Every structure is written in C-alpha cells, then in structure tokens.
Amino acid sequence: MKFLLPVDSRIANTQGFSVLDCVTQNVSYFRTDECYSFSRKGFRGACMVGSTLYICNSFSVKAYHFEAVGEDNYSFSLLWQLQQPEWLMGRAANADLHMLHFDSSQCVLLLANSFMDSVDEISLDGRFLGRQFLWEISDRVRDLVVVRDPSAPDLCHINHISTAFGQTFLTLGNLNLTGKGAIVHRETGEFIIDDLERPHDGVFWKDEFWVTETSAYRLRVYTGIHSADDLGKNEYRLIDLSLHVNNGSMFWCRGLHVTENSVFVGCSQFQDRRKDSSDMPPSHILEIEKTSGAVVNRFEVPGSDALRRPVLFSLLPIVTVPDNGNQPSLNSPEHNNENAMETMTEELASLEKTLLQASKDNAGKFTKDLITVQNRLYAQLESLSWLQRRLSD
C-alpha cells in the first residue's frame, strides 16, 4: 500500500506532498509552489475525485491533476486556485481552513472553515458557491455564541466532514475552548456524539465509525452503525495509543484510513510557535490491527530540505486503476462506507474530463486575475489598517 500525504512544513512555510510506500517504508517528497505570499502556506486536508486532487491550505483551495510519471515518481499540475478575501481573516493561521470533502450527491466540495465556524461550498471548477454557518445548523452552537470565550480563536473548530447514509457529519474539535468536541449531524443540527476529547477525522467503514481523540491519544470505534441514530445509541471501544504516540513529546492524532484488518492513524509533530524544539521525534503513521488494537507498524515521515519537519492532515491511499493506463488514483476514507457514496458515475467522470481541459485552457488567465484582485484587496486592507491606527491616536 502507498499513501499520498499532503504536508505542511510550518518551519519553512512551504507546502507539498509525500508518498509513503508501506512495504519498503520509503518516503518521497514533492514540493509545490504558492503564488500568494501569505504565511501558513502548508497543505491541510484533501480529497480526490478521479485523478483530480482538491486540497486546502489555511487561506485557499487548490486543484491538482495527479499523475504517475515513472516508478515512485508523480507529477502535480495546478489546475486552479481559489482565494476568498475573508479567508485571510483570523489569527495566526488565517481562516484556518482545515479539510475538503467531496459531496457526490450535489457534486460540490465541502470546505471546513474553522475560523468562521462554517461549511463553505466550492464547485469542482473552482467557484465559491455559498456558506452555511454552524449556528444556522445547530441550536446548541447558537447557544454557544452567547457565552463565547473571547480568547477562543473559533467557536467550534470544525476540522472534518464525512458522509454516510446519504447524510453529512461534521467533526467539531474544540467547543468554545473547552477541549471537548462533538460529531454533529448537518441535516438536523443534532450533537450525535458530544463527549469527545479534541476529536479529529471521522471515518465510516462498512458498519463501523472511527474517530481520533487527539488530546487523549486514542481511537474510538463504534460498530453496528446502520443509521445516524445508531451513533448516539451504540457502545464504543477505545484503543489507547498514548504509549506509542506520546513518548514524552506532544503529537496531534490527525489523519485516518480504515481497511478490512487495519486502521492507519497519522501522528503529527506538535510545533509550539513560542518554544519550538527541533529535536522532537518526527511525524509518523501508526498501523493498528483492528481486532486487538495492537500497533503493528510505525512509518516515519521525517521530511526533506524543502519540506522540513512536515505535519500531516490526510492519509490518501494510492490505488492503480487498470482501465486507466495503470495510472494512479486515490481512495479517501469516505469512499469506504457501505453505501458507496463516493463512487464515481460515468457522468461525473465525463464532467471531470471536461473540467480538466477547461481548467488547463484557462489556468493562466484565472490565476493572473486572482492575483490582481487579491493585490487590490490587500492594498485596501493596508489602507484601512493605517486609517484605523491614525483614528485611534
């Protein structure tokens, strides 16, 4: 098995991809360029539709054509990039955009916008379609707005989106700076699971639901899940990873992939901006035997000169598609649920081919126009900041 790993090198403020071969344990690195000069350029969560990879960093969304160009070598061709002015609002990490999920029922991308506590909708050709705030979805989130902790960078810290049973589930990682999180049913706003310790991810596989609890260094798995109601009723099992993950250093349990017999969990190096230590153990991936909960493999992702000390968000397994010239494609964890919600239809494949060609034809002009608009907006922002400072004097 091979994994494509979007990575964020916070130390170098660079972005790119790693490819991990679980058999040889070899890791290849591919740095990508960023046309915007903002901080926190590194990649976050991603999803795949056919051979097009959709990915976000803290302030924008990108689409790449993903292709094998030789043994253990891959190319990443930028198709388009979307940058909304409001995605620059926030604290240290801009809008702290976290991950993308492909909603096959509507053929749109759902973006977890952490700072704005919203789900943003993006078209497959890179257009902003709309935004739904979490307080519009859930009465409980609306109640939190009234008692919001002013020191909290966001209200809910939405960090993952998944689908099953034709419905959407949102992972909220830190409710009002309490360190507690929840799984929310988007259609009803119900907090289906609300006793999680800084959760991340949320993967449906057959009749199972897996979620990481980052601050507790553990996995939680629910079985016998055949509807949304089962998540709130059924018992769960815990897999303690603290002895394997912590080892005296802090890590984020982030990135999850489930198979028939194993579950793979990403463990990202925690990098404190105020007292960073360069000798921390590197980010890594643990392979866990599902039945026993035993850790059977550890795969390190130490980084390269261009992608120093990378951190992980998504684990995307690379699969070979025989009827596509043996070109690689990807299966994200959401593709595993029993309803096959993420299976590509012939119409979608045709649409993707059309969009790919259109994106190639217009990528240069589109990027130039975006940069022009962004520069104007940035100049206006600087002017307003100057005026605000003068008025406060």
Residue pLDDT, tens place only, 84-102: 999 998 877 888 999 999 9
Helix, strand, coil abundance in the chain, percent, nearest 5: 20, 45, 35
Q: What mean pLDDT is predicted for residues 381-392?
A: 54
| Predicted confidence band of residue 153 (pLDDT cuts 50, 70, 90) | confident
pTM of the prediction?
0.81
pLDDT in tens, 183-219: 999 999 999 999 999 999 999 999 999 999 998 899 9
Quote the CA–CA distance of 285 and 166 in Å, as a whole number.
30
Assign 260 to helix, strand or coil: coil
Question: Is 378 strand, coil or helix?
Answer: helix
Least confident of 33-37, 91-95, 237-241, 338-342: 338-342
At residue 309 the predicted structure's pLDDT band, cuts being 50, 70 and 90, is confident
Could you give the domains of the chain? 2-361 (2.120.10.30)
Residues ≥6 apart with Cβ < 8 Å to 176: 144, 147, 148, 149, 152, 155, 156
> CA 347, 348, 351: angle at the middle one, nearest 5?
90
**Average pLDDT over the chain, rounded to an integer:** 83
Checking if the pLDDT of 393 tops 90, the result is no
Question: Which pLDDT belongs to residue 247?
Answer: 60
